[in-house]
Amino acid sequence: MPLSSNKLLRKFLIWKYKHVSERQFIYVLSILVGFLAGFGTVTLKNLTHYIAYFFSQYIFHDYQSTLYFILPIIGLLLVYIIKQTWLKKHIGHGISTTLYAISKLNGIIPRYNIYAALITAPLTAGFGGSVGLQGPAVSVGSALGSNAARLFHMNTKTRMLLIGCAAAGAMASMFKAPIAAIVFAIEIFSLDIAFTSLVPLLLASVSAVVTSYMFLGTDVLLRFELTDKFEVNDIAFYAVLGLVTAFASVYFSKVFFAITNFFKQFKSRAVRLLIGGLAIGTILYFIPPLYGEGYGIMNNLLKGDHLAAIGNTPFNLDLSNIWIVIALLLGIAIFKAIAMTTTFGAGGVGGVFIPTLVMGSAIGNAFAKIINNMGLDFHVSESNFTLIGMTGLMAGVLHAPLTAIFLIAEITGGYELFVPLMIVSAISFAITKYYVSHSIYTLKLAQRGELMTHDKDKNVLMVLDIDKVIETNFIILKPEMKLGDILKNAVAKSSRNHFPVVNDEHEFLGVIRLDDIRHMMFDSDLYEKVQASSLMHADAGIIDYDGDNMNTIMDKFKSSGAWNLPVIKDGKYYGYISRSKLLTAYRQQLINFTQ
């Protein structure tokens, strides 16, 4: 930042300190962050849609089938070149990366995240990659929120709150659904539901929606007007749909993890690009509706136009046969998860949220068509079941049942479908949770113990920095040292009552405590006879610097009853953690969380 800008910022901060309260300034920042997140989301959407529009209007018209195969590969190649030659940094999935920044980086998100997804996501989705934009929108907004907080020297807790505000703003701007956006921020980012956090979320959400209206007018991504009311007689069908979407959610999650792990075995990004690019190109050639985000599928199904939703296929099929249509819709649902994850595996940048909705809409519509065409004189609303199918997949795949309920309720403009929304969301979430303990966003973080939850105790432990509680000023002994040397060079010079023993490779062998040698300290006859190797013993437990998180470390102290435990880093002795220092750090962090 230039010197003149620094002086101006310093003067502003001094003025703010004197005239504006902390809470008032947070309100102002939440509005600013909401606007920035909204503007970032609008920019992301427009760039993607302009790229897709250009190809659909000027190129696909004559060479549609061939380019469905080639264009996604070109888009992924451009993203690869940008990553390798310009960014030279990893671009993770937006929401997962943001959750990691909250839990382990004190809400500090690098500045490059502001523009990285803004460039690479439109190239991925606009050229046909089967991904969504909600994740990149959250990534852009969260980076803006984090860096705005850092610019104005806000504390860690406020920085995390502004990240939540940015996520709510991105969601509100994307769908013009401010209430669902607030629920999304609370449910996904585990924000505290309190007045101090609710008002900034509300302000950010509203300012983002207003920004979206300013730039896009009344145009919305999902166009739907509720015409068929909820029928009590359909409750049994909705319950079955809940079961169907639950197992579809499990399938979606398992496919995502399986394909992701498949691509991880290839160390070269170029190899991933080659394999993934060819695979996604082939999938889109045979199933063109999977091209891009998939809003066309959802909107056409909501309008009742399944032929437009399916589009042109390379197969000469009789689309007047409803069972062929149903089979094609189920094919779209099955391969959407595969196409999306393959795009990620090839190096594409995008989100999971929209593909989840696409899959849910296809399943819900196909399910309604099956009921209506079984010949048993049943009739259900296909548009309503399309919406409810989206809810079921959101609740299951994202583990966000409340977000699913409120988003669809806002899209429909009312709460006529609130009962079936709740039924399907509850069933889908409960069953999916049983088979898949964490969502796509959170599984890897949870496995590493880095996931923020609504459990405040675990959150406090998670944000503790292990380096700040490790003590390294212990006098180290070698196994061949004599008792006399130990007393002269260690005991006499240390205020500690225990001494780690290591070999020449600095590997931890054991510990000698003052109590172990107290009875022989004044027996000079033993000074040259007794070695450290005969006095040392194993400690009550070992802390693995790289493998143990703070929650695990606390459990080790609890189970061992020890007051000090050694830390091993890369197989070498590194230092000690004391129970008292750990509890002191925990207490201070808890104060920071609850103040």
Among 438, 457, 476, which residue terminates a domain?
A: 457
- Helix H or strand E encompassing 544: strand 543-544
Bridge partners of 512, per DSSP, are 499
Question: Tokens 């079984």 belong to which residue?
Answer: 374
Q: How far apart are CA 279 and CA 240, in angstroms?
A: 34
Q: Are residues 26 and 126 in the same domain?
A: yes
How far is Cα of residue 110 from the mean position of the Cα atoms in its chain? 16
Q: Are residues 298 and 405 in the same domain?
A: yes
pLDDT tens across the length of the chain (595 residues): 555 667 787 777 777 777 777 788 888 899 999 999 999 999 998 898 888 777 766 665 554 556 667 888 888 899 889 888 888 777 767 777 777 777 777 778 888 888 888 889 899 888 888 888 888 888 888 888 888 888 887 887 888 888 889 989 999 988 888 888 888 888 887 666 555 678 888 999 999 999 888 887 666 666 677 777 778 888 999 999 999 999 999 999 999 999 989 998 888 888 999 998 899 888 888 888 888 888 888 888 888 888 888 877 777 777 788 899 999 999 999 999 999 999 988 888 888 888 999 999 999 999 999 999 987 888 888 888 999 999 999 999 988 899 999 888 887 765 788 889 999 999 999 999 999 888 877 777 666 665 555 555 566 666 677 778 888 888 888 888 888 888 888 888 887 888 888 888 888 888 888 888 888 888 777 878 888 888 888 888 888 888 787 778 888 888 888 888 888 888 888 888 888 888 777 777 666 655 5
Domain containing residue 52: CATH number: 1.10.3080.10
Provide DSSP, 343-356: HHHTT---BSHHHH
Asked whether 34 and 208 are in contact (CB, 8 A), the reply is: yes
Q: Are residues 186 and 291 in the same domain?
A: no
Among 216, 251, 281, which residue terminates a domain?
A: 216
Residue 523 CB-density burial (10 A; 0-12 exposed, 13-18 middle, 19+ buried): exposed
533 closest CA partner among 513, 518, 511, 514? 511
Residue 362 CB-density burial (10 A; 0-12 exposed, 13-18 middle, 19+ buried): buried
Domain that holds residue 329: 232-457
Cβ count within 10 A of residue 45? 21
445 closest CA partner among 393, 405, 402, 399? 399
Q: What's the confidence (pLDDT) of residue 249?
A: 94
Asked whether 144 and 36 are in contact (CB, 8 A), the reply is: yes
Provide DSSP, 435-476: H-SS-TTTHHHHHTT----S-HHHHHHHH--GGGTEE--PPP
172 closest CA partner among 141, 195, 146? 141
Q: What's the confidence (pLDDT) of residue 193?
A: 59
Asked whether 362 and 333 are in contact (CB, 8 A), the reply is: yes
Q: How far apart are CA 143 and CA 118, in angstroms?
A: 11
DSSP state of 84: I
Please check whether residue 224 lies inside any domain of the structure.
no
Q: Are residues 332 and 396 in the same domain?
A: yes
Q: Are residues 418 and 515 in the same domain?
A: no
CB under 8 A, 24+ apart: contacts of 274-277? 275/345, 275/346, 276/76, 276/342, 276/343, 276/345, 276/346, 276/347, 276/348, 277/72, 277/73, 277/76, 277/77, 277/346
pTM of the predicted structure, to 2 decimals: 0.78
SS3 state of residue 524 = helix
Q: Are residues 301 and 379 in the same domain?
A: yes
Q: Are residues 88 and 194 in the same domain?
A: yes
Number of domains within the chain: 3
Question: Tokens 């991904």 belong to which residue?
Answer: 131
